[in-house]
Structure 1
Amino acid sequence: MDPVSFSDLLGLLRFPNAESAPIPAAQLTPGHVLASGSFERYVVTGLPVPEQRSGLLAVPIRHLHGGHAASLYLSPDAEPYVYRARTGRVSGLQVPVIPRVHIPDAPQVGDRVVLQHYVAHRLGVRAVREFTGEQWEDRTSPDAADRGRPVSTAVMREEVRPSPVASLRGWYVYLPAGQRPYLYADGAPVLARTAASLTGGDVVRLPGRGALEVQDVRAHADGRTIRLRVLQPSVHQGRHLVWASREGDAVEVEDSGRSGLLYPCEPRTDELVPASELNVGDTVIAAYGRSYSHVATVDGVWRQPVRAYMHVHATSVDGRPTRTQTGFENRYVILRRTAVACGMPAVAAHTP
């Protein structure tokens, strides 16, 4: 079958009887979507690469909803099933890449790891583990009696290590203690709010460009009732909030507060600042609203003479050096502020 557009591919894969067929592993190409087994609905993002030591083929894959980049290892004579419908080479905008999780050598008490699921029929994301000072405590259940045993930092690193096995459910996000929490929506970082911090007009995001507007939040003895309206349904139909699939549909969510649920939300207008207000050491969502938005720690800010450009040099959460160019508009969300001597922002006026 000839490649189809990405939107047409998603439309064809909505049907439970979408056609599939086996294909030699060596013939997998970017755009093929796996159709069976644990990795169903993972899309091939690159050509298979032979591994010299094992003799296996390493196939780059990522879930159709986005997530951590991973490799699936197949025998050269394997014939995995793929959907007959396939797309052309996939882009990071279509199938977003989430940065790999980095767990520091010395975690702080209260540091959390959350898991955003590929398929979730409820709103809210909870922590899977929290650091207690010695070990990582299970937080998957609000009831302590139902939780698993604590694990060490070494085991925690293995649990979240980017691999097909670790990526089966969704993607992980590391939330340091003392920093405003954030989550990802379509590959871009957004603020994460608790039910108690939500207010009317906030926009909660779903994968696949889905958006819900908070109408009101009512506190009561058992927690809070959140009432929302669908602004835009997710393009991943049948995968998120299946009872609210049309614009204008009403959604009501009960949150007891015991699970510490977080909701990925667009920042409010007064939470966005220009690059000129950043300090060295600040942790920020950089260039919010741009395709290259990311979370990073600021290393330096420069204003380019004559031209209306600001350059922010930073280090991303996965350790990569980054440089963001924006104008003077408000494009940064401060997650953690670092004090600077005399309160002066670290802005220099020269060409980087």
Structure 2
Amino acid sequence: MNSLRPGMVLSESGWNLHVIAAPPDPISATVALVPVRHLYGGHTLTQRWDRARHVSVYRHRLAPGDVTLVPTVPRCFIPDSPEQGDRVVARFHEALSLGDSRFFEYDGTQWIAVSEELDGREFRQTVRTYNSIRHLVNAPELSYVYYSYMPAGHQPHLYVDGKPMPARTVSQLVVGDVLRLPGGCRVEIDAVKAIGTATALHVRLARRSIHSLRHFMWSEQVGGIAEHLDSGRTGALYATEPRASELRPAAGLRPGDTIIRSWGRVDSDVSEVDSIWASAGRAAVELTTTAVDGRRVRTCSSGHEPRHVLLHSPHPEYARPAAEQMAAGSTA
């Protein structure tokens, strides 16, 4: 334990592919706090480990200065008084299929989780209820999953490689949409077809993931094609690149809007707009926002350059409700 350094990649059972994110902090003669984060991105988890513990690591490791490149996802904050329809989505680091369908939804009194598993030749649906899910979301030992909070009425978003992007159900996907998977993978939709009560997505690999055979299991060759079926019963979400019509300039935002700020940049985040300021005679606009993790950020850019994605607006006269925006996706 005392020889652990930032950049080392663990091969421990339960912590495989987690990177030491910062130097361990000894808090007693026998215990140290060890910050770790999954190589594919996620929450930073601080573990209380015995200083005498023997830890297995891979021979290859990151340079200490490259640890900051390991994607970070803000911790999921659950309000004391959630609103009906709020969701908490679970994302698995090493998922082997398209679509994220594991989530908790608040029905006004409790959290409900619906899962669907193949039982023989039929799918079996299981419904579980929870009075509170904080013990699940904040459990430090959950090394295989991270969580994102999605308020009711907001266009959903998911994190891929630590960056937020719009999320859609299968019924909202159209030909030309680009799905994003960890490791820089891009998958383009070539066709959307109804097969009975399910929807078939015909997809084509546009860019390989750097994580071989982890997030695109059908083909490793650019141009490889596959078919993905979605029954629609679980409400699975797909992280997609924004459509051109969804990108807005800073001058087109209002205080109180929730946005994906600076889509495509390394510092992109989900934020609420605090203020917008433009000086006379200058094309630049200064945008002040508060990120979901509490950081205050100032962004200066051309007021007319479309760089931000609107997730929700409290101004009904200014933007259509998010539900209408999503419903219009099939005609976008």
TM-score, normalised via structure 2 length: 0.89
Q: Of residues 150, 160, 171 in structure 1, which corresponds to 2:137? A: 160
- Preserved CA contact (<8 Å) 1:287 1:331: yes
Query: Which runs of no fewer than 5 residues in structure 1 stay unpaired?
Result: 1-24, 345-352
Q: Which amino acid aligns with 1:255?
A: D
Partner of 1:150: 129
Q: Of residues 34, 44, 51 in structure 2, which corresponds to 1:69? A: 44
Partner of 2:13: 37
Q: Distance in 1 between matches of 2:65 and 2:11?
A: 17
Q: SS of the counterpart of 1:100? A: coil
Q: Of residues 314, 318, 322 in structure 2, which corresponds to 1:338? A: 314
Over 3 Å counting, the alpha-carbon distance change for 1:63 and 1:89 in structure 2 is same
Q: Which amino acid aligns with 1:224?
A: T
Q: SS of the counterpart of 1:139? A: strand
Q: Of residues 10, 14, 22 in structure 2, which corresponds to 1:46? A: 22
- Preserved CA contact (<8 Å) 2:95 2:214: yes
Q: SS of the counterpart of 1:97? A: coil
Partner of 2:327: none
Q: Distance in 1 between matches of 2:279 and 2:159?
A: 31
Q: Which amino acid aligns with 1:173?
A: S
Q: Of residues 198, 209, 217 in structure 1, which corresponds to 2:184? A: 209
The answer to whether residue 166 in structure 2 is matched with residue 191 in structure 1 is: yes
Superposition map of 1:64-143 within 5 A: 64-89=39-64, 91=66, 94-141=69-116
- Preserved CA contact (<8 Å) 1:69 1:162: no
Q: Which amino acid aligns with 2:166?
A: L
Q: Which amino acid aligns with 1:245?
A: E
Partner of 1:350: none
Q: For residues 40-71 of structure 1, give each alpha carbon's deviation from its aligned partner in whole angstroms, at most 9, with x where no partner exists.
A: 1101111110124x841111110010100111
- Preserved CA contact (<8 Å) 1:93 1:291: no
Superposition map of 1:4-43 within 5 A: 25-43=1-19
Name the Cα RMSD after superposition: 2.1
For residue 337 of structure 1, report the CA deviation from its aligned partner.
1.4
Q: Distance in 2 between matches of 1:229 and 1:343?
A: 37
Over 3 Å counting, the alpha-carbon distance change for 1:162 and 1:189 in structure 2 is farther
Q: SS of the counterpart of 1:83? A: coil
Higher alpha-carbon deviation: 188-197 or 323-332: 323-332
Over 3 Å counting, the alpha-carbon distance change for 1:162 and 1:101 in structure 2 is farther
Q: SS of the counterpart of 1:133? A: coil
- Preserved CA contact (<8 Å) 1:125 1:262: yes
Q: Which amino acid aligns with 1:310?
A: V
Q: Which amino acid aligns with 1:63?
A: H
TM-score, normalised via structure 1 length: 0.84
For residue 333 of structure 1, report the CA deviation from its aligned partner.
0.6
Q: Distance in 1 between matches of 2:276 and 2:203?
A: 39
Partner of 1:3: none
Q: Distance in 2 between matches of 1:241 and 1:331?
A: 28
Higher alpha-carbon deviation: 92-101 or 130-139: 92-101
Q: Which amino acid aligns with 1:111?
A: D
For residue 228 of structure 1, report the CA deviation from its aligned partner.
0.7
Q: Of residues 201, 206, 209 in structure 2, which corresponds to 1:226? A: 201
For residue 26 of structure 1, report the CA deviation from its aligned partner.
1.1
Partner of 2:221: 246
Q: Of residues 264, 281, 300 in structure 2, which corresponds to 1:289? A: 264
Across the two proteins, how many residue pairs are aligned to each other?
Answer: 314
- Preserved CA contact (<8 Å) 1:142 1:259: no
Q: For residues 223-274 of structure 1, give each alpha carbon's deviation from its aligned partner in whole angstroms, at most 9, with x where no partner exists.
A: 2110010000110112112222221110210011101011000001010010
Q: Percent identity?
A: 37
For residue 299 of structure 1, report the CA deviation from its aligned partner.
1.0
Q: Distance in 2 between matches of 1:323 and 1:100?
A: 21
